[in-house]
Each structure stands twice: as structure tokens, then as C-alpha cells.
Amino acid sequence: MNALDTLKSFTTVVADTGDFHQIAAFAPRDATTNPSLILKAVQKPEYAPLLAQVMAQHGKDDLGLSMDHLLVRFGCEILKHIPGRVSTEVDARLSFDAAATQARALRLIDLYANEGVPRERVLIKIAATWEGIQAAAQLERLGIRTNLTLLFSFAQAVACGDAGVQLISPFVGRIYDWYKAKAGTSWDESANSGAKDPGVLSVARIYHHYKKHGIRTEVMGASFRNTGQIMALAGCDLLTISPELLAQLQASTQPLVRALDAQAAHGMDMPEVHHNEPSFRFALNEDAMATDKLAEGIRAFAADTLKLEALMLA
């Protein structure tokens, strides 16, 4: 088997793209999107008619509602190519407003329902701020499943587990980027690759903590820079991977073995941890990397949402 097929024997493979024409070649179970991926997709000529159709039907709506129609349209097209779930993201500009995040999530679910898509096939993506996590907790109580994204710290993962969210997306590549940039010329790639990659270590710690303490939240590693990071997390519940890296795995015959094992976590010395709001905010503040990358990620998604809105109005 090629490396992608072997990986699928350990881990649920998820396509990280808004380009639904690319998905079928890799046969993932689920797919994830975000504002940056949708922006990238709609700038391709083959997606111009889809954008035009959405604006013809909904261009007179409030711009935020038109945006949600566009996101749901992409989600519906993606669902035609996968058997599982699609993740659709709430506007990043609402990341510090729990009530507004919950309201936007409910609207997305209603728009999917109007297209005949059951809520079981949708994950609502929300930035893992304290407010986002609390909104997700309320949505989960309503039977709406959530995917907490822009997750860079153990504290965020702990709070998500406490909130009972369906799934988290801890980022690997952006953590790697931060530590590499901070080290500068002293960075030793060989000493910080594979299982020793700082992003891989972060996801592995979260995964083992969840498994040891019976936390049902799914762990989906995200934001990969190379296939080595992916292979080092084989066995994680899910991994969401760009089409470019999926193609590299599909073309590779490099041996791949399970790296994470839920049973092994049971014997680890990992005390159970919980957070309330003050302890969460302090722990996140103490993690310079997570603080930097969370803020940067929200800014980047908000900026791409503005660019997408400009294209919609053009």
C-alpha cells in the first residue's frame, strides 16, 4: 500500500480544502474548510459560476448572510464527494463574542437543513478562545457538533474537553513555524523533526491526556508543513491534510507505522487538569507561542473574510 492507504488504517483522513474538485482523488472521510481556503477556491476560474450563482440568489441579503450562504454552498458541494462530515467556520470577527458565535452557528445549521443536510454531517468551526469554547459548549447541548480550531496550547485543549466539544483541531505547522522563527540561525531541523517536532509533541500530549482521562473529544491534528509531521502522528483520531500533502502521501511507498496509541496513554503519568476562566486565561497568557499564534490566526482569518466579502461585492 502507499503511505496514504496505510495511514487510513490507523487514522481517519480528512481533506483540508475548499476545492471540492480535488477531494475525490484521495477518498477522505471528512473535509474541513476555513475562510482562507474558501477565498483561495473562489479565485479559481472554475468556481466563478458558483460565486455568481450565490450572489444572484442572495446578493440582496445582509452581507453576513450572503457569506453564510456561500460557505454552506461550498459545504454542500463538498459533501457530495465524501461520506462523512464537513467543517464550516464561524466568522473569525466573532471570536470574542459567545452569543454572536452561537447565533451564527445556529444560522449555518439552519441553512444546511434548508438544503437537506442533517446536522450530523456538519461540524461548526469556532476559534478556541474562552468565548468560543463557551459558545461551543452551549451548541453541543443543543445537539450541534463543533470543531474548535486555532488551537495551539494544552490549556485550550483542556477547556475544550471540559466543554464536551465534539472535536478539536490542534495546529502542528504553525507551532513549528513559531519555534523555528524564534530559534533563528540556531534552529536544528534534525533535532526538531518527526516525533520531536514541537507541533507534533503538542498534539501527542493532548491526545494522550484525552485518552488517559476518558475525554471523548476527538483530536484532529491540523496545519501540516510536511509529510514527516503527518507520519509522526499516525494513530491520532483524525488528521486534516492539504491536497498537496495528500498527493505526496499517495505517491509514497515509505513504510508508515502507528505512532500514537490510545492504550499506551493509560499507563502514562499525566495528572488530570481542568480550567475555569481565570486559570485558562492565565495559562494561555503564560504560553507566548499560543498567545501569538491564536491572535495571528484570528487576524488572518478575519482579513481573508474581508477579502472574500470584497469579491462578493465586486
Catalytic positions are: 125
288-313 vs 48-58: helix crossing angle, rounded to 10: 70
DSSP assignment, residue 158? H
Q: How far apart are the first and last CA of the chain?
A: 47
In contact, 36 and 300? CB cutoff 8 Å: yes
- In degrees and rounded to multiples of 5, residue 138 shows phi and psi of -65, -40
Beta-carbon contacts of residue 313 (< 8 Å; ≥ 6 apart): 63
121: cell is 454531517
Q: How far is CA 281 from CA 17, 159, 163, 277, in A?
A: 31, 10, 15, 6
In contact, 173 and 200? CB cutoff 8 Å: no
